[in-house]
Amino acid sequence: MTGKMVDRLAGTTSAQAQRGEARAGACQPKNAAVVIPTFNERDNTPKLVEALIGLYPEIHILVVDDHSPDGTSDVVRGLQQRYPNLMLLERMANPSFAAAYRDGFRRVLAEPWCEAVITMDADFSHNPREIRFLLEKLEGHDAVVGSRYTEGGSVRNWNLRRRLLSRSANFYVHRVLGLRVRDTTSGFICLRREALEGLAVQQTVSEGYSFLVELKYLLTQAGKRIGEHPITFEERREGQSKMSAGKVWEAIWMPWRIRFGGRCRNRSRNQDRTD
């Protein structure tokens, strides 16, 4: 091996190490993508986009809209003229909360600048000001969950029934899936690119809000380091809640499907390795 080739290889290795060290620390907003699934959120979406850009001018935002009848996509297209970092992915078929995230993840991970992905609701239930803390806490973690149930976390404007339902759901998921995350159903999550790329996200069995549980289950099964940051969860500002009796029922049986579906995924991977 010639001296020039050795120097070139050494330089490549050094550059790779430097990138690895950079990604091991806190991520900058300019290298982060906020993925926001929407359905009939034309009133909330522009306010959220403006709040995000106001706090983090360089952050990237991807709105994944399931062909909302209220024209949410049209509103986002209008905003793109003012905000070059705002992206839109309009899904025309198979509306699904989980599919919106799966397609959204695929879209932002195709971008070389993307080092971290943030999931959040469009209705201001998640405070955009907390994003900087989630990104900072990525130092030493593969994923950080905005948590209502860790020390310092809370909920606001919920009645007793809603509080009991949420607490019960978390307890139930803990028992079925053995997760250590205190807030298993949180939709406010910050993930390193490498952590997300290492998960079988495109093979998830969930289609509704249980996708958020399954995502944490996949992270846990993969041995990823998951941190939690306390947040105050607020009831949506405008529009109607997407919660329904069907979604409550899904939350009951889906953890079992996630658990056994995960075993099937692991068995399939093991077979691929031996073939």
pLDDT tens, residue order, the chain (275 aa): 444 433 433 443 343 344 444 445 678 999 999 999 999 999 999 999 999 999 999 999 999 999 999 999 999 999 999 999 999 999 998 889 999 999 999 999 999 999 999 999 999 999 999 999 999 999 999 999 999 999 999 999 889 988 988 888 889 998 999 998 999 999 999 999 999 999 999 989 888 889 999 999 999 999 999 999 999 998 765 555 545 455 556 667 788 888 887 544 444 444 333 34
Task: Give a yes or no: residue 32 inside a domain.
Answer: yes
Distance between CA atoms of residues 57 and 158, nearest Å: 32
Say what the pLDDT of residue 157 is: 87
Domain count, the chain: 1
Say what the pLDDT of residue 14 is: 40
Strand partners, 62: 35, 87
Task: Give a yes or no: residue 96 inside a domain.
Answer: yes
Task: Give a yes or no: residue 19 inside a domain.
Answer: no
Say what the pLDDT of residue 23 is: 47
Non-local CB neighbours of 71 within 8 Å, separated by 6+ positions: 42
Say what the pLDDT of residue 94 is: 81
Strands 32-38 and 143-147, how do they pair?
unpaired
CATH number of the domain at 111, please: 3.90.550.10
pTM for this structure? 0.83
Q: Is there a contact between 30 and 131 (Cβ–Cβ < 8 Å)?
A: no
Say what the pLDDT of residue 260 is: 84
Task: Give a yes or no: residue 21 inside a domain.
Answer: no
Question: Which residue's entry shows tokens 């790779």?
Answer: 16
Task: Give a yes or no: residue 2 inside a domain.
Answer: no
Of the candidates 102, 190, 111, which has an alpha carbon nearest to the alpha carbon of residue 143? 190
Q: Is there a contact between 27 and 115 (Cβ–Cβ < 8 Å)?
A: yes
Say what the pLDDT of residue 17 is: 40
Task: Give a yes or no: residue 17 inside a domain.
Answer: no
Task: Give a yes or no: residue 20 inside a domain.
Answer: no
Say what the pLDDT of residue 78 is: 97
Joined tokens for residue 41: 């959120």
Burial class (CB in 10 A: 0-12, 13-18, 19+), 182: middle
Say what the pLDDT of residue 267 is: 43
Say what the pLDDT of residue 162 is: 86
Say what the pLDDT of residue 196 is: 96
* Phi-psi domain of 140 (left: phi exceeds 0; alpha: psi -120 through 50; beta: other): left
Say what the pLDDT of residue 5 is: 39
Task: Give a yes or no: residue 78 inside a domain.
Answer: yes
Residue-range definition of the domain harbouring residue 205 = 27-274
